[in-house]
Structures are given as C-alpha cells and as structure tokens.
C-alpha cells in the first residue's frame, strides 16, 4: 500500500535555508525514500515572487515523492493540515540593532505563527524551530500553541551536533559516520557546550572513546569547543552568507531521527522542553542528548557529568533564562 502523503510546512521558504531545504524534503531525505510529501511553503509578502519561483523549480524538478506544493504568504493556508512544521522564517539581527529589538520582532512573529499552528495544523504536528534565537522562539511558540503537546515543540541544535562530529572526524581522519554520541548542551548560541566525554569512534578494534583516540585534552577542552561554538561566524566570514546547506541538512536529520528513530546505541542532540533532567531548570527549551523511537524522543538519563561540564551546562542555562526573561518582557 502506498503511504498517505505527509504535509510539511517550511516557513521562510524563499530564503537561503528554505531554498536548500525544500528539495531535500521533496527527495525523501527528511522522511524516507518511500514517504510521499505535500510541501507547504510560506514566506512574507515581500518574498512572494521569489517564493513562486521556488515553486516553479520544484515542479520543474519532477520529484516522484512530491504530491503537491502550496506556496503562500497566508498563515492559515500555510498551516492548514500540516503534520511537520519547520520554522525557518524569523527576523535576523541587523547591524546596530539591540538584542531586545531583535527579540521583540521574533516574539511577535512566533506568537502569530503559534496561533495559526494551534488552530489549523494537524493533531500531533511536530514542530522544529530553526530561526534564531531558536530555543527562545520555540519557547514562545509553545506558550501560544497550548494544544500542541510540549514534547512536539523542538529547536535545532543538530547543526551544532553535526559540526562537532565533523571536527572529530577531521581530527582523527576517520569517516564521520564512525563517530557518535557527541552532545550539545544548552543554547544554540556561542554559550552552547559541545561535550565529547561520552562520544565514541568505531575502529577495527571496536568502539573507543574519543578522548582516548584524540589524546589531546587541551585541544578537546579548548579549540574544539570554540570551533564548534563559532562555526556559524566562520562560515559567514568565508561565504559572506550564513550556513544554509548544512542547516537544511541537519534539519532533515533532526526530523528524520525523530520520526523514524535513532540507531540502537546512538544518541543525538535536540533542543527540547526541559523536565529538570541533569539539574537543568525546567521551563526552558534546552539541548539535551536524546534517543528517538516510534515518533517520540526521550532524554538519555544517567550520564556522569564532571565539574567542568557542570559549569558549562549551567552557564548556557543562565543565558537561556536571561533570553526567556527578555522575551517575556517583550510580551508585556
């Protein structure tokens, strides 16, 4: 039996990340090679013409799995019946802007999009927020879409997770597919904590801890962490544009693992609603190590946390609390 198509919303679909993401979804990279999709692409009125151009290209690409395309600037039309929502649209920080100004713009965007998803999305819609500040945008969306289960609202830290895998792979000259179980703790910002204490590499002698193979704690505790934290800025410097294809690819990884499950013995990083695990304050969207099964994620429990890690985990939680307070002050 052919599967029923899944409706996938991409907001900000005419932008750089959107342009990289929609062909990946249409090709089955996000939901599997046997899963038909109907794409809902949404953007602001200013981008309507460009959005229509993207729709034309999707039609021209003749993707076998793509069973329909909705291209719209209307939130109701964009959100109606969607099973997965990837929220790429947001207000970027511009030169000379204060953090509060950016936060205020994004709070109003995510408040209105939450209302549209709340009323019109399919029951049990899975939401992934990509636009920065991703963790706090996701928190605002959760606040204003109370009927969407809190476990269904997540933000993207898989890009940071994949960047960490990439750095270890390069350092050890091993395929990235042989590296697993790095963790991104906290905020998708420069305070995030990329943690390799539980990471492993597949070798001809079985799985070995990353620390044992790298044999350089100075690099792992220093340059490795700052490289991952500041990779986005390094790409902007090199490309004069922000990461698009890597962000789109990691958004596909995030949803695919969430829907189809993580491999046995492997965990990934997702920004999810904290339940107090690892003494992270509840009520924040914080990146944790998770495993996924049957369309549900669970935080990996019982990992030992050393003193250095604890400090870094608390620091990024502190920043998230400040962002939350700033966001709520914009609401009032």
Please state the residue numbers annotated as binding site for NAD(+): 12-18, 43, 106, 130-132
Q: Can 188 be counted among the known catalytic residues? A: yes
Catalytic residue among 40, 161, 188, 254: 188
Please state the residue numbers annotated as binding site for substrate: 93, 99, 132, 163
Strands (E), the chain: 6-11, 37-42, 66-72, 84-87, 126-129, 153-155, 179-180, 183-185, 193-195, 200-203, 206-209, 268-273, 285-293, 296-299
Q: How far apart are CA 128 and CA 272, in angstroms?
A: 10
Q: Tokens representing 137?
A: 């945008």
Burial of 303 (0-12, 13-18, 19+ CB in 10 A): middle
Q: How far apart are CA 290 and CA 262, in angstroms?
A: 9
Give a three-class secondary structure readout of 271-301. Answer: EEECCCHHHCCCCCEEEEEEEEECCEEEECC
- What does each C-alpha distance from 7 to 37, 66, 80, 104, 119 come to in angstroms? 6, 10, 9, 30, 16
Please state the residue numbers annotated as binding site: 12-18, 43, 93, 99, 106, 130-132, 163
Which residue in 292, 293, 276 sits closest to 284, CA to CA? 276
195 bridge partner residues: 183
Residues 6+ apart with CB under 8 A from 314: none
As annotated, the active-site residues are: 188
């Amino acid at each position: 039996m052919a599967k029923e198509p899944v409706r996938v919303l991409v907001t900000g679909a005419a932008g750089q990340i959107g342009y990289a993401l929609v062909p990946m979804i249409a090709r089955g990279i996000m939901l599997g090679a046997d899963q038909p999709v109907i794409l809902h692409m949404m953007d602001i009125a200013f981008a309507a013409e460009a959005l229509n151009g993207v729709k034309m290209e999707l039609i021209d690409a003749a993707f076998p799995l793509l069973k329909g395309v909705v291209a719209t600037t209307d939130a109701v039309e964009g959100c109606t019946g969607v099973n997965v929502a990837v929220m790429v649209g947001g207000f970027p920080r511009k030169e000379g802007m204060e953090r509060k100004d950016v936060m205020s713009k994004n709070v109003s965007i995510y408040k209105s999009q939450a209302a549209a998803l709340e009323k019109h999305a399919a029951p049990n819609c899975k939401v992934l927020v990509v636009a920065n500040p991703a963790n706090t945008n996701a928190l605002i969306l959760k606040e204003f879409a109370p009927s969407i289960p809190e476990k269904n609202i997540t933000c993207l830290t898989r890009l940071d997770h994949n960047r960490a895998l990439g750095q270890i792979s390069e350092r050890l000259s091993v395929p990235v597919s042989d590296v697993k179980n790095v963790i991104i703790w906290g905020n998708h910002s420069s305070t995030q904590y990329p943690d390799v204490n539980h990471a492993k590499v597949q070798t001809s002698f079985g799985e070995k801890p990353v620390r044992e193979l790298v044999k350089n704690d100075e690099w792992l505790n220093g340059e490795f962490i700052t490289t991952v934290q500041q990779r986005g800025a390094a790409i902007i410097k090199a490309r004069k544009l922000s990461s698009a294809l890597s962000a789109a690819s990691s958004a596909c990884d995030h949803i695919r693992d969430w829907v189809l499950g993580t491999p046995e013995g492997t965990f990934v990083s997702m920004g999810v609603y904290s339940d107090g695990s690892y003494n992270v304050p509840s009520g924040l969207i914080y990146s944790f190590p998770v495993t996924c099964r049957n369309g549900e994620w669970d935080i990996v429990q019982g990992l030992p946390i050393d003193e250095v890690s604890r400090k870094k985990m608390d620091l990024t939680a502190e920043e998230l609390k400040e962002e939350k307070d700033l966001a709520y002050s914009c609401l009032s």
